[in-house]
């Protein structure tokens, strides 16, 4: 699939994916969403040697400033539900991706942009970043998981305040409330993101994928997270990676994981 709204740059096994609609503040239109679906479902899983993905936005103002509201004007109740379900499915692809996905938030992350950042496994922001779910200003609610993930990260009290008032969080406040892993100037933020991906890539690939599964299970109402952990632990003990990791530990050397 040729990408027009995504720029893909591969560097040492790390894919930097830039949402590229700077004149529209990288708003998520249907084409961008389709490209994100294809990238995480079809493209990235087939790339050999992939260590992880860094998502960021083009330009100096926004990561993603929201959805493309013009496309909402043709919606009715059923079409609205279909759009929300499709959007959630795409963000689940990101959340469940077996390699680390880091959002590098370099400006406004509002509405769908905040939801996209929250679907990533880790989040690093520049000091100019702003986070919020302003949908109630339009007579809407978040549709791509915002009402659920914001509570998961911030807790019910603060999340309810932000969802009902449409207020924004500064980068420092987002860090203080646990939404972010770090706040750094742009160049340093990208370097940290790359270092984090590289650090995770040095671990057992199967173990990383199973850890992501177990973490996600905590928030799934129909899944027992403890049972998921038991199953995943058992699966990892039967891998060649575990035998290599254990041998390397005993022999006091760096493990050579094969993802098997």
List 101's β-bridge partners, or say none: 53
Question: Within 10 A of 253 (CB to CB), how many other CB atoms are there?
Answer: 9
| Both tokens assigned to 27 | 């708003």
Q: How far is 20 from 153, CA to CA, in rounded Å?
A: 27
**Residues recognised as catalytic:** 115, 135
How would you list the strands of the sheet with 169-170, edge to edge?
62-64, 108-110, 130-132, 169-170
Please answer whether residues 53 and 15 qualify as being in contact, where contact means their C-beta atoms are separated by less than 8 angstroms.
yes
- 66, 79, 100, 139, 195 from 133: Cα distances, Å: 9, 21, 24, 12, 30
């Amino acid at each position: 699939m040729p990408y027009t709204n995504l720029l893909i740059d591969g560097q040492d096994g790390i894919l930097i994916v830039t949402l590229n609609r700077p004149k529209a503040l990288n708003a998520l239109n249907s084409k961008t969403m389709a490209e994100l679906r294809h990238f995480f479902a079809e493209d990235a899983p087939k790339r050999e040697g992939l260590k992880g993905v860094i998502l960021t936005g083009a330009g100096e103002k926004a990561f993603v400033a929201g959805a493309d509201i013009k496309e909402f004007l043709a919606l009715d109740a059923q079409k609205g539900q279909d759009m929300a379900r499709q959007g959630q499915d795409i963000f689940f692809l990101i959340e469940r991706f077996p390699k680390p996905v880091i959002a590098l938030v370099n400006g406004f992350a509002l509405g769908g942009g905040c939801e996209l950042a929250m679907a990533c496994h880790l989040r690093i922001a520049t000091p100019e970043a702003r986070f919020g779910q302003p949908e109630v200003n339009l007579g809407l609610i978040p549709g791509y998981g915002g009402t659920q993930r914001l509570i998961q990260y911030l807790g019910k009290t603060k999340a309810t305040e932000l969802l009902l008032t449409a207020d924004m969080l500064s980068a420092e406040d987002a860090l203080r409330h646990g939404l972010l892993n770090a706040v750094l100037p742009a160049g340093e933020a990208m370097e940290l993101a790359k270092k984090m991906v590289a650090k995770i890539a040095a671990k057992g690939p199967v173990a990383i994928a199973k850890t992501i599964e177990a973490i996600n299970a905590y928030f799934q109402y129909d899944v027992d997270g403890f049972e998921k952990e038991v199953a995943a632990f058992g699966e990892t003990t039967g891998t060649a990676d575990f035998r290599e990791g254990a041998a390397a530990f005993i022999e006091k050397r760096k493990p050579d994981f094969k993802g098997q």
